[in-house]
Every structure is written in C-alpha cells, then in structure tokens.
Amino acid sequence: MIRIARLETFHDEFVCFVRVTAEDGAFGWGQTSTYNADITAQVFHRQVAPWALGASCSDISGLIGLIERREHKYPGSYRARALAGLDTALWDLAGRRAGKPVASLIGGGPGPVRAYASSMKRDISPSDEAERLKRLCGERGFTAAKWRIGAECGQDVDEWPGRTEEIIPTVAGALGDGIEKLVDANSAFSVSRAIEVGQMLQANGVVHYEEPVPYWDLDATRAVTEALQIDVTGGEQDWEMATWARMIAMRAVDIVQPDVMYMGGLSRTLEVAGMAAAAGLPCTPHSANLSLVTMCSMHMLAAIPNAGKYLELSIEGDDYYPWQRDLFLGSPFAVEDGCVRVPDEPGWGVEINPAWLDGAAYRDSAAEAQQPSAYASLYHKR
C-alpha cells in the first residue's frame, strides 16, 4: 500500500490548488471549490489533511468517506469544498500513475464533448446578449446556449423591470431554430411566477429551465416541474447525499446538475450521477467557470452512462473573471465545432501554470505536522 506523504496548497482568494504527493514520489493536482478559497484552504489543512496524511492513495472514495465520518461534527459546504481538493488531486495522481486520463479510469475515454455557451451576465441588455450569443455560436460552432433571466434569489423582483419578458424572445429569436436554448433563473421566482415564466419559455422554444425557484425548496421545485413540459433542472448548490436522494426520489427535477467542487470531488459526484441513472434521470454537471471544475466535468461526461446532452462552458473571459487568468498552461478549453476535448494525457490532462503557483499563498501539511500546535495535540481527542 502506497501512502500519502505530503499535501500542499497554493491559493489566492478565489482559487486553491492542491498537490498530493505519495511516498514513492508520484503526485497529482486537484482543486478546492472556487471563491473564498483562502478560507477553504484553512479548512483543508485543519480538517482534511490530518486524516489524509499517511492514508492509502488508492481507495479515494473510501478515504473521502472516512474523513466525512471523522469530521461528522462539521458537515456543510466548506467541508465538501475542501474535500474536493483532496479527491480531485488523488484522481489526477491515479491517472498519472496508470498513464491514462481520468475519464478512462471511470469507464470513458478522451475525445470531444459537446458544450453549450453559458452566459453569466445579468447586467447585459437583451439585445447585446442576443448579439454576442449569436456571434459566438457562429464563430465557435456552439449548437446550444444559455442566458440568465430573473434576478439571483430575486423573490420575483427582476434585474430591472421587464428584463425577463424582453430577453426571452429577443435571444430565442436571434438564435433561431438551429440552436438549443437554455436559461438559468438562479432561484429567482416564486412558484406562480416561475410557472408563468416557464410557459413563456416553452412558447419560445427554450428546452432547459434551471433553478426557477429557491433551490432549497424541493417541494416548490417539484411543483414547477409538474406544471411544465420544459425540462426543469437543478442541484448545483447541493452537497448532502440525503438531499440528493430526496430530490431524485420525489422527481423534483428532470435533470440533475451536481457541481464536482461543491460536491466534494469526483467520487461523490459519481455517486449522485449513479443515483440519477438508477432513476432514469440525466446528469448535466454545473461548471460555471474555467477552473479545474470544467475539466473534471468534461472527464465525467465522457464516462457516465446518463450524461446530459452537453457540458456547461462559461463564455466569460478574464475581464469578467480576472482570477481565471493564467491558471493553466496551453488552452485546455479550446472550442472546435461546438466541442471541447478531453485530453489524451494522463490524469486531468492539464498543467497548472508555474507562474501562478509562484504568486500564490503556500502551505504544506506534512511540514506543519512535524511542528504540531497546542491545538493539534488536542485535535483528535474531540
């Protein structure tokens, strides 16, 4: 059994990369969830790394489950976000050791994955949004595109009065019949308003209606799903398996959308995809930025039997997400004929930019373990 010898993090406020090194020198790269990554790095070193150091590298899901049990007093988003760093680094290590892409380790392989152009903007006019989505579909060959309606958690108050009513027909009309149309409401509406908007979406040929009501209210979501013919989707925020089991059992949504990083890594996300497959539901992961989450989602979609029709691929560049700048070497998310490509290279098939790492805050749990704090001496006595 080869054990984990070292766990290092490199982070700024938005991104935290994790490097796991085995006792034989093999290594892999992973990432915690984006945003508040400096906080997540602290959680990683305090509540994940102590249980992972010295553990086997090979039983990834077993180790993640062990840490969940050991940290049972601290369930929640931050624990899952931190676990994602360990899980995704171990999958990269496993792929590098085997000389195979992660997709090949889980039943798929390298190759093209259809993507949809995903807009993140609400401060854009309907006409400008229509123009840029139509242009990008023409330039990059996208055959599907998504735009934003309502206001995030808006309680029926729109981004500005009348925007939803204007943007739906404006963008749908500009894209025409050859492009599949998706929208994201980000928990904007009440049930009655969501149904009203959903009927408008159906009349304009939209096929995907994401988070129409507050995502935490599964009964409300199901009410919208049952009232409409359009696919109602959701789940990006959810990490707890009991919530996923209930969501799937009650058919609250037509399509599940787990986020690999919010979920706690690939292992737990595959578990959700498996639950959905058993219920006959497709899985279209949430991947709303061009960090490692999108590459992990690409590998997953290339392998699972109930993969949704397309990958979410953010169209927002460094001007919108300046923290995305120079994360990786090369162009891992290049689009050709509306598709991105799962790399042939081992592991995730991407290399972290050394220049970005040089500018990041750094911690090494193996080194810290040699100099335990007073807290660390009490840590395992809870």
Distance CA 175, CA 41 (A): 42
Between helix 292-301 and helix 77-98 the angle, nearest 10°, is: 60
Look at the alpha carbons of 46, 97, 293, 249 in this order and tell me if their dihedral is positive or negative. negative
* All residues at 6 or more sequence positions from 203 whose CB lies less than 8 Å from its CB, including other chains: none
Kindly report the average pLDDT of the chain as a whole number. 96
- What's the pLDDT score for residue 368? 82
Q: For residue range 324-358, list pLDDT tens digits in order.
A: 999 999 999 999 999 999 999 999 999 999 999 99
Answer yes or no: are the C-beta atoms of 319 and 91 closer than 8 Å: no
3-state secondary structure 11-30: ECCCCEEEEEEECCCCEEEE
**Chain center to CA of 353:** 21
Burial 335-368 (b: 16+ CB within 10 A, else e): beebbbbbbeebbbbbebbeebeeebeebbbeeb
Nearest partner of 282 among 259, 307, 301, judged by Cα: 307
Largest CA distance in the chain: 65
Tell me whether strands 255-256 and 231-234 are parallel, antiparallel or unpaired. Answer: parallel
* Block mean pLDDT (10 aa), the chain, length 382: 97 98 98 98 97 97 98 96 98 98 98 98 98 98 98 97 98 97 98 98 98 98 98 98 98 98 98 98 98 98 98 96 96 97 98 98 86 44 34
Q: Domains, the chain, ranges and CATH? A: 4-98+353-379 (3.30.390.10), 103-342 (3.20.20.120)
